[in-house]
Structure 1
């Protein structure tokens, strides 16, 4: 899509409440945020978010468009480029998980959201405190540009429990029989 290799690294992963996730992102990012959101359903369900500081999102759009657009052109293409990029990254992550866990997942179309952590993690909703967030810190490197961001997966407790069971099954397939089960 961008004609360059995209390197992703995940230096940290946490499972936290939605409120803690909103606090973590507020402490790390002082400016406005932009996110690409996709819902997923299957053996475990939830909502995946690819989150960037607004300034990094524009750098990502420039990388996707190959620096060929002026500021007005970049602004015009921003949501489309972010949706496509978010779809590729989120689909890649979730499809890899689904394949490794041997369970299919269906994904919605991507949507671009803007706001602070409270809005992105839906703390203003009636059930905004429910569920947890699987919070991955990611670093993107595209053609010499360092673009940092986050992947967050919002899930309710039954989905987290289902994911734990699937991960245990995966580990058993990879490493063999569970020695603690005897």
Structure 2
């Protein structure tokens, strides 16, 4: 995989997928404690794409407005992480999180707070696990909820640099027989992705018991 000059070998791609899958599994466990019900999160694919391609991927899958929970992260590699849902899925997620105990009006009132908390649990669970596996700490900002189309979500942050790429994950959610779809996207600049590639190399070397080249 080569995107924007960043090349991942097949082994690095496999390692990245494994690290992300473990992170998402930990996030599912944390969300399960929060909702008190069985939660399954599966990640069919992990890709590194340009911002434009990430917006196109969302546009191809989702025709409606999107809701996203965004948090910045910083450490050995830094960027912005987003948990993204189609808007029509967001209230279903709130109902799952609140145990179907609220009226329709209360669900709407609680939507932003519940989405922030859910995003915080999933993004922190995923990123903290990745950081632990790669042996580099990360700090996370307070979650922010916003709405828009794919191009709005992936507009570059002037502080993040115009050459940023996106680590893009498509996720299937199952909560109490509800099928909710969503996405996790981590926007990083080229130096951060280069660092991530180096850390994946070190992770692989430790797993196979060889010193990195």
> What TM-score range do you get, normalising by the shorter chain?
over 0.9
Q: CA deviation at 1:122?
A: 1.1
Q: Tell me which residue corresponds to 1:147.
A: 180
Deviations 1:15-62 (A, max 9, x none): 100011011101110001000000000000000000000011111000
Q: Tell me which residue corresponds to 2:132.
A: 99
Deviations 1:95-148 (A, max 9, x none): 010000001000001000100011111159697742100000011111111111
Q: What is the CA–CA distance in structure 2 between the aligned matches of 1:41 and 1:96, rounded to whole Å?
A: 14
Q: Tell me which residue corresponds to 1:51.
A: 84
Select the residue among 85, 96, 116 that pairs with 1:63.
Answer: 96
2:35 is aligned with 1:11: no
**What value does the CA root-mean-square deviation take over the aligned residues?**
1.7
With a CA cutoff of 8 Å and minimum separation of 6, indicate the structure with the bigger relative contact order. Answer: 1
Q: What is the CA–CA distance in structure 2 between the aligned matches of 1:113 and 1:161, rounded to whole Å?
A: 29
Q: 1:175 to 1:89 in 2, by over 3 A?
A: same
Q: Tell me which residue corresponds to 1:130.
A: 163
Select the residue among 109, 129, 138 that pairs with 1:76.
Answer: 109
Q: Tell me which residue corresponds to 2:29.
A: none
**TM-score, with normalisation over the residues of structure 1?**
0.94
Residues 19 and 123 in structure 1, CA contact (< 8 A), matched pair in contact too: no
Unaligned runs of 5+ in 1: none
Q: 1:139 to 1:10 in 2, by over 3 A?
A: same
Give secondary structure in 2 for the equivalent of 1:19. Answer: helix
**TM alignment of 1:148-163, pairs within 5 A:** 148-163=181-196
Q: 1:160 to 1:127 in 2, by over 3 A?
A: closer
Residues 156 and 164 in structure 2, CA contact (< 8 A), matched pair in contact too: no
Residues 163 and 189 in structure 2, CA contact (< 8 A), matched pair in contact too: yes
Q: Tell me which residue corresponds to 1:115.
A: 148
Unaligned runs of 5+ in 2: 1-33
Figure out how many residues of one structure are paired with residues of the other and give that number: 180
Deviations 1:74-101 (A, max 9, x none): 0000000000000000000000100000
Q: CA deviation at 1:6?
A: 1.4
**TM-score, with normalisation over the residues of structure 2?**
0.81
